[in-house]
């Protein structure tokens, strides 16, 4: 592969990752809007995987043989990491923490967790700049947690659920890199398997009556954002980025989203952006710049 083609390949990967990040930046306040109004996290999960499962079922049927179903140890982190458990943990978490705090502990923490998992399970070696950048990012995350602990606030349960959700997403990212499925197949496996297992249980527990009682506008809004943009378009784009860049490099773009998340949360929900959140967002932004400094310099010199 020539230097120019390698550069084009990496640029395409970063473009896909950034596109996914823009969608996910709106997903956190959109989910918080749902779970603090008329919907529960269980409702949102059913809408997300019911719609995305239906949309992607033809893809999975046509490309069924591409999925190594016997490699359960890798498929499970993918299906669970981006599936219903992740959605429920994050949904309940943002019912307690606001958008800015969720942004810091969600996408702000994922890159560090992915780097750790990629080192352990994939043998990837992060660059020194990446480690320094991740250290700065983790300092910002620790500042938010420490501030709440020091002041005796009651959001720790929400924080814990969001951190656990971030670990799930890191497992999905690492598993996607190891399996190397086509992005559409990757998204189809996540959506269809979760939809098949979760939606019937949800409906059997009275979910149909709950959905029927909700305003049609709420259903369509969450269905479009959760089931189409987030679960299909963004997931495909991010899986594509992981294939082009590697798990750790693709995830290094994710911490760019917290500032957008906090801004959207303020505009859409009126979520207050307090000083600890601002400090953490600044640390995450600085960490991203440090982690990607050498990569940017190399891309410039290769032109």
pLDDT tens per residue, range 50-103? 999 999 999 999 999 999 999 999 899 999 999 999 999 999 999 988 888 888
Residue 152: predicted pLDDT: 67
Residue 263: predicted pLDDT: 84
| pTM for the whole structure | 0.82
Residue 302: predicted pLDDT: 29
Decide: 89 and 169 in contact? Cβ < 8 Å.
Answer: no
Query: How far is it, in rounded angstroms, from Cα 149 to Cα 102?
Result: 16
Residue 136: predicted pLDDT: 85
Residue 301: predicted pLDDT: 28
Burial class (CB in 10 A: 0-12, 13-18, 19+), 15: middle
Query: How far is it, in rounded angstroms, from Cα 93 to Cα 100?
Result: 12
The CA–CA distances, whole Å, from 100 to 28, 179, 221, 253 equal 9, 33, 22, 18
Residue 91: predicted pLDDT: 95
Residue 267: partners with Cβ closer than 8 Å, 6 or more residues away: none
Residue 248: predicted pLDDT: 67
Query: How far is it, in rounded angstroms, from Cα 184 to Cα 232?
Result: 8
Give pLDDT tens digits along the chain (303 positions): 577 777 788 888 888 888 888 888 899 999 999 998 889 999 999 999 999 999 999 999 999 999 999 999 989 999 999 999 999 999 999 998 888 888 888 887 887 788 778 778 777 777 787 788 778 888 888 888 888 777 766 678 888 899 999 999 999 988 888 888 888 899 899 999 999 999 999 999 999 999 888 888 888 999 999 999 988 888 788 878 878 887 667 766 766 778 888 888 988 888 888 888 888 888 877 877 776 665 443 432 223
Query: How far is it, in rounded angstroms, from Cα 167 to Cα 45?
Result: 18
User: What count of Cα atoms within 13 Å lies in the side-chain half-sphere of residue 182?
Assistant: 11
Q: DSSP for 104-146?
A: HHTHHHHHHHHHHHIIIII-----HHHHHHHHHHHHHHHHHHH
Residue 61: predicted pLDDT: 96
Residue 177: predicted pLDDT: 82
Query: How far is it, in rounded angstroms, from Cα 31 to Cα 61?
Result: 30
Decide: 258 and 21 in contact? Cβ < 8 Å.
Answer: no
22 is written with which tokens? 């823009």
Residue 198: predicted pLDDT: 97
Query: How far is it, in rounded angstroms, from Cα 272 to Cα 236?
Result: 32
Residue 223: predicted pLDDT: 92
Give Cα 112 distance to the centre of its chain.
Answer: 13
């Amino acid at each position: 592969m020539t230097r120019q083609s390698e550069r084009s390949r990496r640029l395409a990967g970063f473009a896909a990752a950034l596109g996914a990040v823009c969608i996910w930046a709106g997903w956190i306040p959109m989910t918080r809007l749902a779970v603090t109004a008329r919907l529960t996290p269980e409702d949102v999960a059913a809408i997300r995987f019911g719609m995305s499962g239906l949309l992607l079922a033809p893809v999975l049927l046509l490309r069924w043989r591409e999925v190594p179903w016997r490699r359960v140890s890798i498929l499970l982190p993918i299906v669970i990491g981006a599936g219903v458990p992740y959605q429920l943990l994050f949904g309940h978490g943002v019912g307690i923490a606001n958008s800015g705090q969720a942004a810091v502990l969600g996408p702000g923490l994922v890159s560090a967790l992915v780097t750790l998992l990629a080192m352990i399970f994939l043998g990837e070696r992060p660059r020194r700049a990446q480690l320094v950048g991740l250290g700065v990012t983790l300092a910002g995350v620790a500042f938010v947690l420490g501030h709440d602990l020091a002041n005796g606030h009651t959001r720790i349960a929400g924080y814990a659920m969001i951190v656990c959700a971030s670990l799930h997403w890191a497992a999905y990212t690492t598993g996607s890199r190891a399996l190397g499925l086509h992005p559409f197949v990757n998204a189809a496996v996540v959506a269809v398997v979760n939809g098949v297992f979760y939606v019937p249980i949800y409906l059997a527990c009275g979910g149909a009556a709950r959905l029927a009682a909700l305003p049609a506008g709420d259903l369509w809004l969450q269905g479009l954002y959760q089931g189409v943009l987030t679960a299909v378009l963004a997931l495909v784009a991010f899986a594509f980025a992981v294939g082009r860049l590697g798990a750790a490099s693709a995830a290094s773009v994710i911490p760019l989203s917290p500032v957008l998340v906090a801004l959207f949360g303020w505009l859409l929900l009126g979520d207050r952006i307090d000083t600890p959140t601002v400090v953490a967002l600044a640390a995450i932004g600085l960490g991203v710049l440090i982690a990607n400094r050498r990569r940017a310099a190399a891309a410039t010199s290769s032109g």
